[in-house]
């Protein structure tokens, strides 16, 4: 999808929050949006998610299958957590038992199953946030937008959300997020958007790497996705530099050959 010369202001006399912003997003890409308080990150994410129209410019090829966790979840709806998820699941095209099963699975996964039949306004902030996250993961999407979705979640729910994002990326979704933790999803982040004074500066995030030392055969290793360099050290010792995001796959490749022995991963 593409944002073309986007401008946004709230009201005809309001200051321009975003000015002439053009950005491109590709499938499977994880983008982190950064900037100070009030710089316009949430405004940008709402436009990317299709939740808010820009004042100027156009959004091209906005995926129909998309989900969004807003910074502030509308927790005052007079529904139980379960009913809310069922309702949204049907809107997303899930049918019959699938919607019930998926809602139950997500509430369980994020540790909110025991609150499934409580009304949303009665839920604690963290549990409400778990429901907000669960609604975004109800069905497969091509675009996932997360505005501080980790805030308020307990440690295990935060880890589950990290895993869920990695799964979405694996399936080819584009994910755009804002989070306070500078290390959040660092190994997967492909680009950063710096939002400042109405503009957005894009930079590629350098992919972190791992060095795998093993003893065995390096045949075919250069062709494995994520492998950046293969160096021989002595007769059978090999050092492989891989993008961290691919290191598990490279290790699996190496261990398929019983003669290979992994010495270290750093």
Ligand X SMILES: Nc1ncnc2c1ncn2[C@@H]1O[C@H](COP(=O)(O)OP(=O)(O)OP(=O)(O)O)[C@@H](O)[C@H]1O
Summarize as ranges the residues that interact with ligand X (CB under 6 A): 10, 17, 35, 37-43, 71
Shortest CB 71 distance to ligand X, Å: 6
Shortest CB 181 distance to ligand X, Å: 14
For residue 68, how far is the Cα from the chain centroid? 10
Distance set, CA 184 to CA 51, 70, 173, 211 (Å) = 24, 18, 18, 22
Q: Please list the residues that pair with 59 across neighbouring strands.
A: 3
Shortest CB 38 distance to ligand X, Å: 4
DSSP notation for 112-161? -GGGTTSBGGGS-HHHHHHHHHHHHTSS--SEEEEESTTTT--HHHHHHH
Shortest CB 151 distance to ligand X, Å: 10
Nearest residue (CB) to ligand X, 40 versus 75: 40
Shortest CB 89 distance to ligand X, Å: 28
Q: What is the C-alpha to C-alpha distance for residues 216 and 149, in angstroms, rounded to an integer? A: 44
254, two tokens: 């190496």
Tell me how crowded residue 219 is: count the other CB atoms within 10 A of its CB: 8
Helix axes 81-91, 96-109, angle to 10 degrees: 130
Nearest residue (CB) to ligand X, 56 versus 90: 56
Q: What is the C-alpha to C-alpha distance for residues 266 and 155, in angstroms, rounded to an integer? A: 25
Shortest CB 41 distance to ligand X, Å: 4
Q: What is the C-alpha to C-alpha distance for residues 87 and 94, in angstroms, rounded to an integer? A: 10
Q: What is the C-alpha to C-alpha distance for residues 45 and 107, in angstroms, rounded to an integer? A: 25
């Amino acid at each position: 999808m593409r944002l073309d010369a986007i401008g946004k202001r709230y009201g005809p006399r309001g200051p321009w929050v975003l000015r002439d912003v053009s950005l491109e997003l590709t499938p499977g890409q994880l983008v982190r949006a950064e900037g100070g308080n009030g710089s316009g990150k949430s405004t940008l994410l709402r436009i990317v998610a299709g939740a808010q129209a820009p004042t100027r410019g156009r959004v091209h090829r906005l995926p129909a299958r998309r989900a969004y966790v807003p910074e502030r979840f509308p927790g005052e709806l007079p529904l139980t957590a379960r009913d809310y998820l069922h309702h949204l699941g049907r809107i997303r095209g899930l049918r019959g038992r699938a919607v019930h099963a998926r809602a139950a699975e997500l509430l369980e996964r994020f540790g909110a199953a025991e609150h499934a039949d409580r009304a949303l306004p009665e839920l604690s902030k963290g549990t409400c946030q778990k429901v907000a996250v669960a609604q975004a993961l109800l069905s497969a999407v091509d675009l996932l937008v997360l505005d501080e979705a980790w805030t308020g979640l307990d440690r295990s729910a935060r880890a589950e959300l990290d895993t869920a994002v990695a799964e979405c990326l694996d399936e080819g979704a584009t994910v755009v997020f804002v989070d306070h933790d500078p290390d959040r999803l660092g190994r997967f982040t492909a680009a950063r958007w710096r939002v400042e004074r109405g503009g957005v500066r894009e930079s590629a995030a350098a992919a972190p790497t791992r060095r795998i030392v093993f003893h065995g055969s390096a045949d075919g290793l250069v062709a494995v996705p994520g492998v950046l360099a293969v160096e021989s050290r002595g007769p059978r010792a090999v050092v492989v530099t891989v993008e961290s995001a691919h290191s598990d796959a490279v290790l699996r490749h190496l261990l398929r050959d019983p003669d290979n022995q992994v010495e270290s991963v750093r």
